[in-house]
Amino acid sequence: MAKVAAKPVRIVVAKVGLDGHDRGVKVVARALRDAGYEVIYTGLRQTPEMVVDAALQEDAQVIGLSIHSGAHMTLFPAVVDELKRRDATDIVVFGGGIIPDDDIAALKKRGVAEIFTPGTPLQEIVDWLRKRFPEQTRKP
Partner 1 sequence: MWQEEFEASPSRDDGLETSTISGIPLQPLYTTADVPRREEELPGRYPYTRGIHPSGYRGRLWTMRQFSGFATAAETNRRYKYLLANGQTGLSVAFDMPTLMGQDSDAPTSRGEVGHCGVAIDSLADMETLFDGIPLGEITTSMTINSPAAILLCMYIAVAEKQGVPPSQLGGTLQNDILKEFIAQKEFIFPPSPSMRLVVDSIEYCAREVPKWNTISISGYHIREAGSTAAQELAFTLADGMAYVDACLERGMHIDDFASRLSFFFDAHIDFFEEIAKFRAARRIWARWMRERYGAQLERSWKLRFHTQTAGVSLTAQQPELNIARTAVEALAAVLGGTQSLHTNAMDEVLALPTDRAARIALRTQQLLAYETGVANTIDPLGGSYFVESLTDEMERQAEAYFKRIEEIGGVIPAIEAGFFQKEIADAAFRYQKELEQKRRIVVGVNDFTVDDEEPIEILRIDPRLESEQAGRVSEVRRKRDGAQCTNALNRLRKAAAGTDNLMPYILDAVRAYATEGEIMQAMIEVFGTYTETAVV
Q: Which parts of this chain interact with partner 1 (CB under 8 A)?
A: 17-23, 26-27, 29-31, 33, 39, 41-45, 47, 68-75, 78, 98, 100-102, 117-119, 121-123
Nearer CB in complex with partner 1: 57/74: 74
Q: To the nearest whole angstrom, how small is the minimum distance from the Cβ of residue 4 to partner 1?
A: 26
Residue 32 is given by DSSP the state H
Q: To the nearest whole angstrom, how small is the minimum distance from the Cβ of residue 44 to partner 1?
A: 6
Residue 131, burial from CB neighbour count under 10 angstroms (0-12, 13-18, 19+): exposed
CA 63 distance to own-chain centroid: 3
Beta carbons of 28 and 122 less than 8 angstroms apart: yes
* Distance (Å, whole) CA 22 – CA 46: 13
Beta carbons of 132 and 92 less than 8 angstroms apart: yes
* Distance (Å, whole) CA 139 – CA 94: 21
Q: To the nearest whole angstrom, how small is the minimum distance from the Cβ of residue 33 to partner 1?
A: 7
Nearer CB in complex with partner 1: 16/92: 16
Q: To the nearest whole angstrom, how small is the minimum distance from the Cβ of residue 131 to partner 1?
A: 19
Nearer CB in complex with partner 1: 69/137: 69
Nearer CB in complex with partner 1: 124/135: 124
